[in-house]
């Protein structure tokens, strides 16, 4: 059985929980208190961070690596495109999310007040640019739910928590967010602390 060491408020951990629930397989989640981490986490992950996935002798960390492994190991439903060209494009977009969205989350959570305000404005603008894409299709890659939707869902869930108000032109993005939040796997993957992030 797979075991996921997961932070109860960590957006990266939430991405991994969503994938595990989408796959509908047997796994266990160990909730990690970020202020009082278990000693075995540092043994499993040299960076002493969550998420970390353990399956027999295999230990993985970094959300995208964990999620791609789970997707390949349990191919139904498939979350990365089957076509190599589309899969490469999806990986590039995931990389873009890390650079242009999640790097700003780290600043909002850990930076100075001034840096956090600047990051909020940049994150708002970057997300607003995505809205035009979602006015014409159901999910990031078209009609099928994919790893890109998994990657962005925790961020959209935390907008209020991070103090980000999207402008009117981002309305398609907010409709898309509600589609993501209504998926059963998303609901099942939420921790009580994450549920409390939205009123």
pLDDT of residue 199 exceeding 80, the answer is no
* Host H or E run for residue 6: strand 2-7
28 with 98, same domain: the answer is no
126 with 169, same domain: the answer is yes
154 with 73, same domain: the answer is no
pLDDT of residue 89 exceeding 90, the answer is yes
141 with 158, same domain: the answer is yes
Count of domains observed in the chain = 2
Name the pTM for this structure: 0.95
64 with 111, same domain: the answer is no
112 with 158, same domain: the answer is yes
pLDDT tens digits, one per residue of 92-123: 999 999 999 999 999 999 999 999 999 999 99
Distance, in Å, from the CA atom of 146 to the CA atom of 169, rounded to the nearest integer, reads 24
For the chain, percent of residues with pLDDT exceeding 90: 86
pLDDT band at 12 (very low <50, low <70, confident <90, very high): very high
171 with 143, same domain: the answer is yes
Domain that holds residue 139: 84-183
DSSP alpha helix (H) spans, 3-102: 11-23, 39-44, 63-73, 84-97
pLDDT of residue 144 exceeding 80, the answer is yes
175 with 115, same domain: the answer is yes
55 with 131, same domain: the answer is no
DSSP E strand boundaries for 33-105: 52-55, 58-61
91 with 73, same domain: the answer is no
151 with 99, same domain: the answer is yes
Catalytic residue among 2, 4, 10, 189: 10
pLDDT band at 41 (very low <50, low <70, confident <90, very high): confident
Question: For the domain that residue 114 is a member of, what is the CATH number?
Answer: 1.20.1050.10
| Residue among 183, 117, 115, 112 at smallest CA distance from 154 | 183
Q: So what's the pLDDT on residue 7?
A: 95
Any catalytic annotation for residue 16?
Answer: no
Q: So what's the pLDDT on residue 156?
A: 97
Q: Is 154 helix (H, G, I), strand (E, B) or coil?
A: helix
Distance, in Å, from the CA atom of 196 to the CA atom of 194, rounded to the nearest integer, reads 5
Pair of tokens at residue 1: 């059985």
89 with 20, same domain: the answer is no
Question: For the domain that residue 28 is a member of, what is the CATH number?
Answer: 3.40.30.10
pLDDT of residue 57 exceeding 80, the answer is yes
pLDDT tens digits, one per residue of 145-184: 999 999 999 999 999 999 999 999 999 999 999 999 999 9
């Amino acid at each position: 059985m797979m075991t996921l060491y997961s932070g109860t408020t960590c957006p990266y951990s939430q991405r991994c929980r969503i994938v595990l629930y989408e796959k509908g397989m047997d796994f266990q989640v160990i909730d990690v208190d970020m202020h009082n981490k278990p000693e075995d986490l540092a043994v499993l992950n040299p960076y002493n961070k969550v998420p970390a996935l353990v399956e027999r002798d295999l230990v993985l960390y970094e959300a995208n690596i964990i999620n791609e492994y789970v997707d390949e190991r349990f191919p139904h439903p498939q979350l990365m495109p089957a076509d190599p060209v589309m899969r490469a494009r999806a990986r590039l977009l995931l990389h873009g999310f890390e650079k242009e969205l999640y790097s700003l989350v780290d600043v909002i959570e850990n930076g100075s007040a001034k840096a956090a305000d600047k990051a909020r404005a940049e994150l708002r603008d970057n997300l607003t640019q995505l809205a035009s894409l979602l006015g014409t299709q159901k999910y990031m890659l078209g009609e099928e739910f994919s790893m890109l939707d998994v990657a962005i869902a925790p961020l959209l869930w935390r907008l209020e928590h991070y103090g980000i108000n999207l402008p009117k032109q981002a309305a398609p993005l907010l409709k898309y967010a509600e589609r993501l939040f209504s998926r059963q796997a998303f609901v099942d993957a939420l921790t009580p602390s994450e549920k409390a992030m939205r009123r």
